[in-house]
Amino acid sequence: MVESMTAEESWAWVTLASAKGMTAGAALRMMKSIGLPEEVLRADLTTLSRLVGMPLAQAVRAAGAGANDAEVERAVSWLNEQPQTQLLPIAAPNYPMMLIQSGFAPLVLWL
């Protein structure tokens, strides 16, 4: 069973996933140090760059500042229009462990 997220949580996960060059590993590093995606998206450039390097840090800051809002809005709207569809973030306890261990896990799964 997938726990439902608030609209703000969904928006933050999709926004973080939309950052150019984002990988699950990088997102997990940032979240381990900073906190939830909402907090990662508000983190300062210096903190982010220490964790994931400057290019990805700049992409995360841009996404957090709204650079990808049109893309995020389309994705979240689609999600909301599909009552049988849910977003499963990599931090969820029921995210498939074998997928994480493969090294190719996406930051979010659309179920």
Average pLDDT over residues 78-84: 88
> Tokens standing for 59?
């992409």
Amino acid 2: pLDDT:
46
Query: What is the reported pTM?
Result: 0.91
How far apart are the C-alpha atoms of 91 and 58, rounded to whole Å? 23
Looking at residue 86, the DSSP 8-state letter turns out to be: -
The closest of 85, 100, 102, 104 to 14, measured between CA atoms, is 85
Mean pLDDT to the nearest integer, 74-102: 91
Structure tokens at 39: 């907090």
Distance separating alpha carbons of residues 42 and 58, to the nearest angstrom? 12
